[in-house]
Structure 1
Amino acid sequence: MPVKARRSARLGLAFLIGASVAVLAGCGSLNGASSRIANIVTPYKVDVVQGNFVSREQVEALQPGMGRQQVREILGTPLVTSLFHADRWEYVFTLKRPGEDVQTRKLTVFFQGDVLERYEGDPMPTETEFVATLGSGAKKGKVPVLEATPEQLARYPASARPTTPPTAAPLEPASISYPPLEAPAR
C-alpha cells in the first residue's frame, strides 16, 4: 500500500475514533442532564386506600348476640365473605402512601348462625388517631395572614369600604308545615 494511502487510512481511522468519543461524551452529558431534570421533576404519587377502615369505637360497639344486620350497620359491608366460611366476615384495610410503610389492619367477625359469636383482629386506632396519621405526610406550608393591616386598608378609598356592617332584613317564618320525623310516643 502506498504511503499516502496508509496516511489517509490512519487519518480516517483517527477521525472515526474521535467522532465516536465525541458522540459518547455527548451521550454521557445528556444522561447527566436528563438525570438532573428527572431529580427536579417528580411525578405525583397517590395514596392507595383499599378496604374498610374500622375504628376502635366501632369495635367497642360490637356485642356478642348481635344480628348480622346490626354488625353490618356498625362496621359496614365486609370486604371478604366466603361461601366456604359463611359464618366469618373479614374486614381488611390497607393504606399505601409514597415513601412510607404499608399500613394493614384486619378484623375477623365470627357468627354462630345469624348471631355474632366473637371477633378478633389487630388493635384498631381511634378515629382521631387515624385522622392524625393522614395529615402527617402532608408538607405544611406557611399559613398566610388573613387580616388586613391599617396601612393596607388606607390604600383603598373610604367610599369603597363599608363603615358599618350591613344589616339583614328580618326573615319571615316559613309557611310550610312538615310532618314529624318520629312517631309520637305512646
Structure 2
Amino acid sequence: MAALSRLLRPALAIAALAAGAGCSSVSADGSLLGFITPYRMEVVQGNVVTKEMVAQLRPGLSREQVRNLLGSPLLTDVFHGDRWDYAFTIRRQGAAPQQRRVTVFFDGDRVSRFDAGEAPSEREFVDAIDVSPPKPRRTPLELDEQQLRAIAPPKPTRAAALVPGTAASGPARSYPPLETVSR
C-alpha cells in the first residue's frame, strides 16, 4: 500500500501541473499553444439580401413578388402580419461575423415601405466572407513593346557571314561519316 501511495502522489502532482499549464496556454485568438486552432462550425442563418436585390424592391409590389425577389422571410409574426423581417447572420472562422436586416412593411397585400439599411453588393458580400489567402501576383507571359525594344537583337553567326543572303540555322560543322564500309 505504501508503494502505491508513493507512485500515486507524483502522478497526481504531474497531472495537476499539466492541467494548470493547459489553461494558460490558450491564447486570446482561441489557439492552443499558438499553433493549434480548434474547429469552429460555420453558422449561416437567414437570407442573403444584396444591394442589387434591394434596388428591385419598391412600394406597390405584392407579397408574392417580394417572396420571389427576397425569398421567404425569416421572421413573420402573427401579431404583426404586415411586417416581414429578413435577417442574415454569418460566423466563419477567420472572418469577421456579419449581421444584416431588411424589414418590409405591407399595407394589405402591397409593400408600403421597407428598411434595408446598408446592404452590400454581391461582390462586396463574397469578398467579406472569403477567407482564402490572396492569390500570388502572376507575371505576364508576353512582353510589351517597351520590353521588346530593350532586348538586344541577336548577333550574326559566322556561318551567316560566310554565305550572304541565307539565314544561319546553327554553327557550321563538319562531321565524320557515321559508318565506314569495309569489305
| 2:78 paired with 1:83 | yes
- Tell me the residue number matched to 1:138: 132
Measure, in 2, the Cα distance between the counterparts of 1:142 and 1:44: 27
Q: Tell me, what secondary structure is at the counterpart of 2:104?
A: strand
- Tell me the residue number matched to 2:61: 66
Q: 1:116 to 1:127 in 2, by over 3 A?
A: same
More helix by share: 1
Aligned positions of 1:20-59 closer than 5 A: 22-28=10-16, 30-31=18-19, 39=33, 41-59=36-54
Offset of 1:96 from its aligned partner?
1.3
Amino acid corresponding to residue 111 of structure 2 in structure 1: L
Amino acid corresponding to residue 71 of structure 1 in structure 2: V
1:108 to 103, 112, 134: 103
Give me the TM-score of the superposition, normalised by structure 2.
0.57
Consecutive unaligned residues of structure 2, counting only runs of 5 or more, are: 27-31, 138-183
Measure, in 2, the Cα distance between the counterparts of 1:42 and 1:141: 23
Q: How many residues align?
A: 129
Q: 1:101 to 1:28 in 2, by over 3 A?
A: same
Measure, in 2, the Cα distance between the counterparts of 1:82 and 1:88: 8
**Which entry has the higher C-alpha Rg, 1 or 2?**
2
Measure, in 2, the Cα distance between the counterparts of 1:73 and 1:127: 18
Q: Would the aligned equivalents of 2:83 and 2:105 in 1 still touch at CA under 8 Å? A: yes
Give me the TM-score of the superposition, normalised by structure 1.
0.57
Q: Would the aligned equivalents of 2:89 and 2:100 in 1 still touch at CA under 8 Å? A: yes
Measure, in 1, the Cα distance between the counterparts of 2:14 and 2:112: 71
Measure, in 1, the Cα distance between the counterparts of 2:116 and 2:50: 12
| 2:123 paired with 1:128 | yes
Identity of aligned residues (%): 40
Amino acid corresponding to residue 128 of structure 1 in structure 2: R
